[in-house]
Structure 1
Amino acid sequence: MINNELKSRVENDNVLVLERIFDAPRDLVFKMFKEPEHLKHWWGPTGWELPVCHIDFRPGGTWHFCMKCTDQNQGEYYGMESWGKVVYKDIVEPEMITYTDYFSDADGNINETMPSSEIKLEFIDLGDGETKLVNHAEYVSAEALQAVMDMGMLQGITETWNRLEERLNKIK
């Protein structure tokens, strides 16, 4: 049994590094991040769905998406929408994806008042059908990183990656 707990650490006050091992081959884990039909099943915390998911998966391309809370038990969050926009920088399939991650509106306009981040996703083949996913998220400042931490980002990414694991287990 692999240890699939999310590990997190902060480097240089403004870089959040997240790591988790998935019991799935690297090609499959990578595929989960590039195809809308997969992302729609796992992206977002528990109780949230992805009703909008438009991807142009190439350097310079974008991913515009909406996460919507569909769980009535989440009280004030029920019905809330959270829009995001990714601008891909570099893609080395199946090893790495780099992009800038923004908050946006429904039209894809970037929300300059919210912290953006430079993301590097590494997909490391551990052999035996296991993959380590490493997410480096660099923010402009320690304050920007703290702002997203205060929004519950760590809990959200933990739940999101739990959902990714469930999706992987369902289709592998």
Structure 2
Amino acid sequence: MAHPHRGSDTPRTWPDAFSRFPPLPGTYPIRRRGDLYVEVDRAGYLLLRMLDARGSMDISALAGALGLDPSTTGRQVNAVQKAGFVERTTATTDRRRSVIALTDRGIGAMDAVRRRRLDGTAEMLDEWSEADLQHLATVFSRYNEAIVQLYLSSEREHSAGGGAHGSNGGVDGSSDRRLPRLRGSR
């Protein structure tokens, strides 16, 4: 039996909508998302955004905030440090630790990428009604909150054992935490 949504221009369920790229057969991107990240790559941009939002922090805290392991975070910090976007200083409380801080150059790079992202999104949504934009903001905020609940934890929860996913991680589906059955997922 053929899938009931194949060939339809309008996805009927959230999985159909999320998996639909390119949106129609025979269409190709006229711009590449990589064009957004001229000054700094996407991973570096996210790292700079985290430092901007939360302030200076050591590698372990930054890794936890980004949901990455410290070695991966260290490599990303090295890359943005070489570009002059962050600086390392020795922690005053423990001279073995480095504190990572955003530089003026890093703020400039982050702001340039953010501006291109916002401009591109504004261009896509230019013809949407105010009601549609408000609905998008509401639903997307709920989506982001769900991501935080599922994938991010507070430092206290993480140090208590198991982080946000229970005792064995959960990202690969191996934890005892189950995803709720979502409307429209069948």
TM-score (norm 2): 0.23
Q: Which has the larger radius of gyration?
A: 2
Choose between structure 1 and 2: higher helix proportion.
2
Larger RCO: 1 or 2 (CA < 8 Å, sep 6+): 1
